[in-house]
Amino acid sequence: MAPSSTPTIDIESLGLDQGALLLIRRALAERPVGGELQVRGRSPDWEMHLQAWCRSQGHPLRFETVDGLPQARITRGPHAEGRWRDAQATGTALGGINGTPADDAEASWGLAARGATVEAGSPGFFFALHRRHELWAATAGDLYRQAAAAQWDPATAIEWGAEFSLAPAIEAAVVQVMTYLIENENAALLVPARHLGQIHPHYREVLQLLALQCADEARHVEVFTRRATLRGHEPALSTAGGQASLRTLFDAPDFSVATFLLAVLGEGSFVNLLNFLQANAPDPVTRQIARLTARDEARHVAFGMAHLEYRLSVQPDYQSKLRNAIEVRYDALASTAGLNEEVFDALVLLAAGELSPNAIARGHAAVQQLQRDMAAGRRARLARLGFDRDEAERLSALHTRNFM
């Protein structure tokens, strides 16, 4: 018989159950549907095993005799065609493990790696957040890498044994501020965590970043708790007004609105608060804690801004949703007290460092300046999201008096 141009592999004496099937599968995968592959072999019963496998996979098979020996001729069957699909976008500029993810992640991609080939028949998973514009940020991958590199260990990053001595009233003020911070950190952990489980894993970078953000908040809860109780005190007061403000974050209608209220407005204001504590706290432990937590919060704000900038770039009319969210929240909280007096007074005392009128005047001025800094920061971020000056000013002023 004349030599054939059909690709041929020789599995020699290797049995199909000894790895020969791997060679056959790989060679066949390189053939188009309808294309042929010739296989030679010598192991006992290889023809029978090949027949059974080809039948199960839907590849037509026939045997010929070449030089007195049996030779298989496999035609790649059409079944293989619909059996696999890629868990990545099919659009032109999209796809690949590191490329921009798809506009819409399919339920049938499930938990597969982005870009993986997913076998048909894999179970579907429902993720409420499966559309890119609802969760994506262009810088999510960079922010994740920054967050991974910036993780710190509360046990060693803070000098818990640093010596200091505060008047009882000042220590009590620190405990009150820590108590306030802890409940805000609990919200900052739980609000993103509730959305995290709803995100399609195709959007890997956002998932990873939010997971680290939750880890950041877990550390913040730890260090504020540890400082509150460092001198043997119990946590102090938690008020209805403070919790009512945080409650509205749990009621936000979607991930973008929650991120806007929590990260852009709340955590943005918290960066100012933590900077204030870093500059004004009366003891070195509180100042160190404030420095480390402020750095993490700045990243949380950066993601919030990047997500909303992305969403507004593809859906400009979403701005009215953001405006509406601030107004609805303001109305919901209009009858509550906002920042409780105890926290306000504690911030003044903490910045004063002692109870003399001069020191209190200084502390009071510092807290006034803090509130101006917070408002200016909110206005600047709202302006970056496209609100004009007057509107940014108006909306910033409607922000919760609880700061978060």
Our CB check for Fe ion shows the closer of 199 and 404 to be 404
CB of 88 to Fe ion, least distance (A): 31
3-state secondary structure 203-268: CHHHHHHHHHHHHHHHHHHHHHHHHHCCCCCCCCCCCHHHHHHHHHHHCCCCHHHHHHHHHHHHHH
Q: State how far the Cα of 236 lies from the Cα of 231, in Å rounded to an integer.
A: 13
CB of 342 to Fe ion, least distance (A): 21
Q: Give the CA distances from residue 263 to residues 8, 173, 300, 403, in Å, rounded to whole numbers and listed in that order.
A: 61, 26, 6, 11
**Which residue bears the tokens 């480390």?**
292
Neighbours of 198 (CB within 10 A): 15
Q: State how far the Cα of 364 lies from the Cα of 135, in Å rounded to an integer.
A: 40
Our CB check for Fe ion shows the closer of 171 and 185 to be 185
Residue type for 348, please?
V
CB of 226 to Fe ion, least distance (A): 14
Q: With contact defined as beta carbons under 8 Å apart, do 48 and 17 qualify?
A: no
CB of 259 to Fe ion, least distance (A): 11
CB of 220 to Fe ion, least distance (A): 4
Our CB check for Fe ion shows the closer of 267 and 342 to be 267
Our CB check for Fe ion shows the closer of 134 and 296 to be 296
Relative to beta strand 8-10, strand 36-40 is parallel
Our CB check for Fe ion shows the closer of 212 and 370 to be 212
CB of 139 to Fe ion, least distance (A): 17
Our CB check for Fe ion shows the closer of 143 and 170 to be 143
**Which residue bears the tokens 């099937």?**
21
Q: State how far the Cα of 333 lies from the Cα of 401, in Å rounded to an integer.
A: 9
Q: Which two tokens stand for residue 259?
A: 């991120």
Query: What does the binding site for Fe ion look like in residue numbers (CB under 5 A)?
Result: 185, 188, 217, 220, 267, 297, 300
CB of 145 to Fe ion, least distance (A): 18
Our CB check for Fe ion shows the closer of 72 and 174 to be 174
